[in-house]
């Protein structure tokens, strides 16, 4: 049986627009018959993966998501003295190992050097590309044969091991994600409001037009969110080539990022930065389950004065009922912190999650 690490969080955000839909308004979902605010898992994962915290904790063990491998190789070859025509063909050959290339179109002269699909490339794979480019420059020849086997199965890229990757053209190098992230939802109903704003021209001295130089509006809302993460630790270790220490380091970094790093949407306008106010970590071999059902009935302001306390109580009661009804005699190990009551230690919680 695999060991599963489940992270349940409650995070309160002030007025914000962290994750926008196609109209620029906060994303939402209909849950339990009421409208809730929503933050997509894609938005959460990108915020964590690209954060300074995550990058610092896992330096040299992070991949790069890009379509531009061919452009990078082409530019390096040209700078190394390779003829432009040869550099372009060799760059296309190198990029083509990672997926089908775009067709040249419009005015972008480098479009045919780009890969159609975003590729999550590991540090080892980028190093292999760099080494191959250096050899081609030194030996003044085209790439050939086994040296074009640039893709790697096992990887030291923690983000690829966590979140997986899909290569349509090279399925044998796909990586199954060891981490699943749910869309965060508000635990109570929300109303998305509109912020009408103006900007004034500093050089306008009211001599001709005292009106605003710009008028706009943006949607926003405030909410307490429930978030859920599930990590298959055994699969994570496997994805990392058996490196147990790196897996534990990765779990620690993810736990900290998830509790501290919000999505970046409209942060300059709202400064809606927040830490999780409640975190529960569960570890065990039982099949994982979300506790989102605790909020199928939205917390109602007519019934509860404190949404935070009510949400923690709902999670605790829902978890206890799961334990009772699905009793297998092997309840998971647990550790929790609660900022609302000042209980627990976040350092100990990270140690617990990472088995340190």
Q: Which tens digit of pLDDT belongs to each residue from 148-192?
A: 999 987 688 999 999 999 988 888 999 999 999 999 999 999 999
Same domain, 55 and 93: no
Same domain, 183 and 46: yes
Same domain, 111 and 235: no
To 10 degrees, what angle do helices 41-50 and 244-260 make?
Answer: 110
Of the candidates 283, 263, 259, 248, which has an alpha carbon nearest to the alpha carbon of residue 338? 259
| b/e per residue 285-308 (b: at least 16 CB within 10 A) | ebebbbbbebbeebbeeeeeeebb
Tokens of 79: 């700078």
Which range of residues forms the domain containing residue 184? 4-61+176-189+222-354
d(CA 236, CA 242): 9
Place of tokens 């086997």: 149
pLDDT for residue 207: 65
pLDDT for residue 199: 86
Domain-embedded: residue 201:
no
pLDDT band at 301 (very low <50, low <70, confident <90, very high): confident
pLDDT band at 1 (very low <50, low <70, confident <90, very high): low
Going by the DSSP 8-state scheme, the letter that residue 102 receives in this structure is: P
Of the candidates 58, 158, 170, 57, which has an alpha carbon nearest to the alpha carbon of residue 117? 170
Same domain, 227 and 328: yes
Give mean pLDDT, residues 300-323: 92
Same domain, 269 and 138: no
pLDDT for residue 46: 96
Cα–Cα distances (Å) from 139 to 126, 143, 150, 158, in that order, read 20, 10, 19, 34
Task: Name the residue with higher pLDDT: 138 or 302.
Answer: 138
pLDDT for residue 168: 82
Note the residue count of the chain: 356
Q: Is the per-residue pLDDT at 44 higher than 60? A: yes
Q: Is the per-residue pLDDT at 331 higher than 80? A: no
Neighbour tally for 129: CB within 10 Å:
21
Domain-embedded: residue 280:
yes
Burial class (CB in 10 A: 0-12, 13-18, 19+), 29: middle
Per-residue model confidence as pLDDT tens digits over 219-265: 889 999 999 999 999 999 999 999 999 999 999 999 999 999 999 99
Per-residue model confidence as pLDDT tens digits over 93-126: 999 999 999 887 767 788 899 999 899 999 999 9
Phi, psi angle pair for 260, to nearest 5°: -115, -25
Per-residue model confidence as pLDDT tens digits over 66-94: 999 999 999 999 999 999 999 999 999 99
Total domains present in the chain:
2
Domain-embedded: residue 204:
no
Domain-embedded: residue 304:
yes
Q: Is the per-residue pLDDT at 349 higher than 80? A: yes
Per-residue model confidence as pLDDT tens digits over 255-299: 999 999 999 999 988 999 999 999 999 999 999 999 999 999 999
Give mean pLDDT, residues 320-345: 91
Q: Percent of the chain, pLDDT > 90?
A: 79
Same domain, 249 and 324: yes
Residue 287 CB contacts under 8 Å (≥ 6 apart), including other chains: 4
Per-residue model confidence as pLDDT tens digits over 199-223: 888 887 776 677 777 888 888 899 9
- Which ranges in the chain belong to alpha helices (H)? 41-50, 52-57, 69-79, 84-95, 123-139, 158-163, 233-239, 244-260, 267-270, 307-325, 346-354
Same domain, 183 and 255: yes
Domain-embedded: residue 208:
no
Going by the DSSP 8-state scheme, the letter that residue 211 receives in this structure is: S
pLDDT for residue 215: 86
Same domain, 124 and 271: no
Same domain, 242 and 350: yes
Same domain, 245 and 129: no
């Amino acid at each position: 049986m695999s060991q599963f690490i489940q992270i349940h969080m409650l995070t309160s955000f002030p007025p914000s627009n962290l994750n926008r839909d196609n109209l620029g308004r906060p994303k939402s979902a209909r849950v339990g018959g009421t409208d809730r605010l929503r933050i997509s898992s894609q938005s959460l994962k990108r915020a964590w993966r690209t954060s300074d915290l995550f990058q610092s904790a896992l330096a040299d063990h992070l991949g790069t998501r890009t379509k531009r491998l061919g452009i990078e190789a082409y530019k390096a070859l040209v700078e190394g003295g390779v003829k432009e025509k040869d550099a372009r063909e060799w760059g296309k050959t190198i990029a083509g190992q990672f997926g089908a290339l775009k067709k040249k179109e419009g005015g972008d002269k480098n479009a045919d050097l780009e890969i159609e699909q975003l590729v999550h490339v590991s540090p080892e794979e980028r190093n292999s590309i760099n080494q191959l480019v250096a050899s081609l420059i030194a030996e003044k020849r085209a790439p050939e044969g086994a040296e074009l086997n640039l893709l790697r199965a096992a990887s030291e890229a923690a983000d690829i091991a966590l979140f997986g990757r899909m290569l349509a053209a090279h399925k044998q190098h796909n990586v199954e994600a060891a981490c699943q992230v749910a869309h965060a939802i508000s635990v109570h109903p929300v109303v998305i409001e509109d912020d009408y704003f103006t900007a004034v021209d500093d050089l306008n001295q009211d001599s001709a037009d005292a009106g605003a130089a710009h008028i706009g509006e943006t949607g926003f809302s405030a909410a307490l969110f429930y978030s859920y993460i599930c990590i298959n630790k055994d699969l994570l270790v496997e994805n990392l080539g058996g490196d147990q220490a790196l897996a534990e380091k990765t779990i620690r970094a993810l736990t900290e990022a998830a509790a501290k790093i919000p999505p970046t949407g409209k942060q300059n306008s709202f400064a809606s930065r927040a830490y999780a106010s409640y975190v529960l970590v569960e570890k065990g071999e039982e099949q994982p389950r979300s506790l989102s059902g605790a909020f199928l009935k939205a917390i109602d302001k007519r019934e509860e004065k404190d949404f935070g306390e009510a949400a923690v109580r709902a999670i605790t009661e829902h978890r206890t009922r799961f334990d009772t009804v699905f009793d297998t005699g092997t309840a998971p190990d647990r550790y929790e912190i609660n900022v609302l009551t000042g209980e627990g230690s976040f350092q100990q919680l990270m140690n617990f999650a990472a088995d340190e």
